[in-house]
């Protein structure tokens, strides 16, 4: 029975790594579509989100089954409960990548954000890619040094996010109201993606150390 239990835990772990990999791929493709107004690629990102949703459901169902049938305790219980919460955050990250693609599709053939913020969004995207890639590694190898890099990237994104809203509110803003709304939405998507990444990294840290440093992330 113990061998079966460990195999089930490994399956949950492997599925978490897979969903993180799919989220990273979704973000990369969404950013590419966003920056180039590639509506076909945006549609592919939107369609592929169903796979992430399916995996999250599978992870949750397996975790609940383990809780019901195996009665895990101590670190194993933390792993199962943590997996339930991490899968939800990863699924939300996939949704945010999909939202970026949806906005790209909505504004086609125009780009979804004004040129004055192009460099800002490029940097936010680069930082989110770093977070996504680090999460894949963190879930796989539990190297907590990755959490430091994730948190540093998130802090910079928070600053850039605030800067976007300052730019929109500045009297010198000359783009249309619709462009202001799009810019605010995209900035919010990038910022929330990073927040959920931090949330997952904190849960991994808790699983490894048994110490909780708090998590204020909400959907």
pLDDT at position 217 is 59
Q: What is the pLDDT of residue 72?
A: 72
Residue 218 lies in a domain: no
Its domain, for residue 123, covers 2-209
Between vectors from CA 57 to CA 54 and to CA 60, what angle results, nearest 5°?
A: 150
Domain membership flag for residue 219? no
pLDDT at position 219 is 46
The CATH number for 68's domain is 1.20.58.220
In a domain? residue 217: no
The pLDDT score that the predictor gives to residue 215 is 60
| pLDDT given at position 46 | 98
- Give the pLDDT confidence score for residue 79 in this predicted structure: 86
User: Do 132 and 197 touch, CB atoms closer than 8 A?
Assistant: yes
Q: Could you say which residues of the chain have pLDDT below 70?
A: 1-2, 214-219
Number of folded domains in the chain? 1
> pLDDT tens digits for 28-75?
999 999 999 999 999 999 999 999 999 999 999 988 888 887 777 777
Is 159 inside any structural domain?
Answer: yes
- How big, in percent rounded to 5, are the helix, strand and coil portions of the chain? 85, 0, 15
pTM (two decimals): 0.93
Q: In sequence order, what DSSP letters do the residues of 102-145 get, joined into one string?
A: HHHHHHTTS-SS-GGGHHHHHHHHHHHHHHHHHHHHHHHH--TH
């Amino acid at each position: 029975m113990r061998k079966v239990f460990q195999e089930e835990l490994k399956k949950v772990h492997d599925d978490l790594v897979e969903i993180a990999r799919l989220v990273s791929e979704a973000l990369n493709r969404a950013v590419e579509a966003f920056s180039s107004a590639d509506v076909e690629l945006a549609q592919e990102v939107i369609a592929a989100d169903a796979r992430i949703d399916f995996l999250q459901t599978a992870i949750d169902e397996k975790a609940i089954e383990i809780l019901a049938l195996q009665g895990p305790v101590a670190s194993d219980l933390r792993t199962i409960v943590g997996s339930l919460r991490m899968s939800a955050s990863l699924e939300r990250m996939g949704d945010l990548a999909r939202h970026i693609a949806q906005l790209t599709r909505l504004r086609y053939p125009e780009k979804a954000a004004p040129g004055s913020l192009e460099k800002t969004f490029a940097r936010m995207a680069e930082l989110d890619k770093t977070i996504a890639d680090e999460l894949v590694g963190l879930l796989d190898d539990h190297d907590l040094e990755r959490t430091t890099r994730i948190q540093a990237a998130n802090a910079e994104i928070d600053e850039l996010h605030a800067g976007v809203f300052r730019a929109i509110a500045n009297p010198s803003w000359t783009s249309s109201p619709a462009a202001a709304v799009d810019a605010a939405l995209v900035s919010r998507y990038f910022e929330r993606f990073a927040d959920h990444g931090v949330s997952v990294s904190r849960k991994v840290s808790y699983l490894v150390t048994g110490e909780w440093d708090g998590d204020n992330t909400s959907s």
